[in-house]
Structure formats: structure tokens, C-alpha cells
Structure 1
Amino acid sequence: MRIVLVGPPGAGKGTQATRLAEKLRIPHISMGDLFRANISQQTELGQLAKSYMDAGNLVPDEVTIAMAKDRLEQPDAKGGFLLDGFPRNVSQAQALDDLLQTEGIKLDAVLDLEVPEEEVIKRIAGRRICRKDSSHVFHVSYSPPKTEGVCDICGGELYQRDDDSEETVRKRLEVYHTQTEPIIDYYQAQGLVVTISSQGPVDEITQRVLEALKRDDA
């Protein structure tokens, strides 16, 4: 299957992408990971992207599209893929359509993970990360530490990342609504959008997606 995953920040895209890719046996192509890999390996595209980022500018669509194209041409993506974080706007979606068309293939589904805005803010603004080990993550409501401000695992100090403040989350949501949400209408016109509620236990959400994809396939 060839799938694009969309949804606001905090919708659980990364978690669901990893699980779905494993169950569907297709590569999970995360645009964020792709950027990091290209920059750390100092590829031509990575160096170009870094030059824009270092100057405090947005990476132009053509660089992002070239990076995605390069990854989609790898052998493991020939039999299907799950795209997470790309396309981010309508021009990127059109570029992806053009790219797939030249290969004689098309998308099977665009999964839209829906979650209410206030829930997004609660999910992200409540996150607390351990200063000693950033893989130790807690949440003030959903998975609080035994002692406030202290990591259960290593005793490190827990803090809220600047990116996770309510003000920043609201700004990120604004960007999502203006830039990324229009691609849902774009794909809706092609009959590709499958809308899934991203509320509830992680396993349940994965099951919802798999059942919806089966129905869509049928």
C-alpha cells in the first residue's frame, strides 16, 4: 500500500506510523528523519537544507520534494510506503502526484488522524522530558511521575521543552491549519481521504485504521 499520513501536531502520527508500517510491511518514511539523516550524512541535499535552516529560513519546497523523491526511489519503497510529514502543503502534494504518475503508480489512501484542538494542547503542553535522558517522557495527566518534577527511571529533573509550551503549540496548530490542512481537501477531491479519530488507547486507534483501510480496499 502507498499511504500518506496527516494530522495536527500531537495526533500521534509518529506512533501510528511505526505500528502501521510494521503491520502492513511497508517502510515508514518520516520526513523529519529524512532531513536529519541527509544533514548528518552531509549529502548535497542535506547541506542545501542546512544552509537555509542555519540562516533561519524555511527549506524551499523543491529541496524537500527532491529529498522525498530520492527516498521513494529506493528499492524498499517500490512495493509501498507510509509517508509521515510529507506532503506538508498543496504544492508538495501535487509534486508527489507527478512523481508517482511518472512511475505509473498512485496513492491508495490518505489517513487523516483527527483530534480536537484542546486535546492536542493538553497532550503536548503536559509532556515532561528528563534532562538526563530524553527518552524518559512523562505526562502531567496521562503518565505522571511518582514525585513531581523527578524522573521515575533515573532521578533526573523533568522539564517542559520550549516547543511544548501552550503558546508554541497554538502557533504550530495555526501553521498546520493554514499550510497542511488544505491538502485534505486536495486529496478529498480524489476520494483518497480516510478520517480516523485519534482519541483512545493506541492499540484501538491502530485497529481503527487497519479496519478502515480494509473497507477502503474492498
Structure 2
Amino acid sequence: MFNLVIFGPPGAGKGTQSAKIIDKYKLAHISTGDMFRMHISQDTELGKRVKQILADGLLVPDSITIDMLEEEVQRNPDVSGFIFDGFPRTVNQAEALDTFLEGKGEKIDLVLQLDVTEAEIKDRIAERKKVSGRADDDEDKLLKRIDEYFSKTIHVLPFYQNQGKVVKVNGIGQIDLIFGTICEAIDNAKVD
């Protein structure tokens, strides 16, 4: 099994590149954002809680996120691996993910860090908002999410760097060229 974390600020291209990775490597996609949106659209109790938290521009608490993620992994017992998109966002989540995977005899094999400037992120999200109409792309909420990323989430990288699992990829440029760099990193990690 091959497990990959794709890492970057909002608008870095995680969703776009994840779709390409899934298609080529046949990994199951676990996006915490998609899970949150699904619960919100189905108006579940969890969805109501998550909706308010996201409306405030905050990160969903670790306990909620981890429970949802473990449930999603359990639903896909026969896949060749997972791509974790938008998770982990805290060191506590990274430790919980490692513990959970170790309990299944698995591990995170690679962490891809999509490196994108803040100006590029803002341009991309403004464009995405026109197309998707995502509520979480509101400018005030976006600024909070970017701040959350750079003040909290970024601290997850050293956790994986200490394990020698992080590959930094320039996330600015043509999508297919970025994907080529990502494929090289994945293929190299699969060989190790």
C-alpha cells in the first residue's frame, strides 16, 4: 500500500493535482474538505457543527476530523493506497494518523508540499470562487484560512521532514509540468 499526503495552503492546487494522482496511481482520495462539505450538504449533526466552525474561519477540531478520516479509511479496505488531501493540519493529527496507520501495518510514504506564493493563492481562489461558488472562498474566510495555514498547519512539515518524507514541489506553472514533478517524487518514493 502507498500512502501520500498532499500539503499546501488553500488554493495551492491540492484538489487539481490529487485528481491526476488518483487517476494515474489508483489511490483512494480522502479530502477532509470534501468530507466536511458532504456532511454539511446532508445537514447531519456533524455537518451543522462543522458548518459553524468553518463559517468562523477556524479549523475543525482534531477529534472530529480524525474520527471522520478513520471512518473513511475503514470504508475502503481493498485500495492500493490513500492520498490524504487537507489532512493532517496539526502535529496532533499527524501523530494520530501515524498511530492509526501503524495499527493497520501501514505508514505515510510521501508528503508532497505544493509551494505557492500568497499572491498566487489569492488569484486562484478568486478565480475558483467565480466558477465553483464555494462559500469557503469568501475573502475574509480565505484570509483566516491562509493565516491558519501559515500559523498552525505549516508546523506539520517538520514532523514529516524529520522522517525524511517531504518533497517540496513548485506549485506555480503549467498543471501538467507540476504533475510531472509530482510523478517523479511518487515514483522515487515507491522505489525506496
Give the TM-score taking structure 2 as reference length: 0.84
Q: Which amino acid aligns with 1:176?
A: Y
Structure 2 alignment gaps of length 5 or more: none
Q: Could you say which residue in structure 1 is the equivalent of 2:36? A: 35
Query: Which of 137, 140, 148 is the matching residue for 1:163?
Result: 137
Residue identity in the other structure for 2:46: L
Q: Which structure has the greater CA radius of gyration?
A: 1
Of 91-100 and 115-124, more deviation after overlay is shown by 115-124
Higher helix share: 2
Which residue type is aligned with residue 85 of structure 2?
D
CA distance in structure 2 between the aligned counterparts of 1:168 and 1:51, rounded to whole angstroms:
17
Pick from 206, 209, 214: which aligns with 2:179? 206
Contact 2:39 2:46 in 1 (8 A): no
Contact kept, 8 Å, 1:90 with 1:182, in 2: the verdict is: yes
Unpaired segments of 5 or more residues in structure 1? Answer: 138-159
Provide the alpha-carbon RMSD of the alignment. Answer: 2.6
Aligned to 1:145: none
Q: Report the more deviating stretch, 26-35 or 191-200.
A: 26-35
Instruction: State the identity %.
Output: 41
- 1:5-34 deviation digits (Å, cap 9, x = unpaired): 110111111100111111101111111111
Range that drifts further, 33-42 or 104-113: 33-42
Q: How far does the alpha carbon of each residue in 1:157-196 deviate from its partner, in whole angstroms, 9 at most, with x for none?
A: xxx978353x654432211011110111111011111111
By relative contact order (CA 8 Å, sep 6+), the higher-ranking structure is: 2
Partner of 2:154: 181
What is the alpha-carbon distance in structure 1 between the residues aligned to residue 109 and residue 124 of structure 2?
30
Counterpart-to-counterpart distance in 2, 1:162 and 1:68: 20
Q: Does structure 2 conserve the Cα–Cα contact (< 8 Å) formed by 1:11 and 1:115?
A: yes
Aligned to 1:17: 18
Whether the 8 Å CA contact 1:27–1:76 is kept in 2: the answer is no
Aligned residue pairs: how many? 187
Shift of 1:75: 2.8
**What TM-score, normalized to structure 1?**
0.75
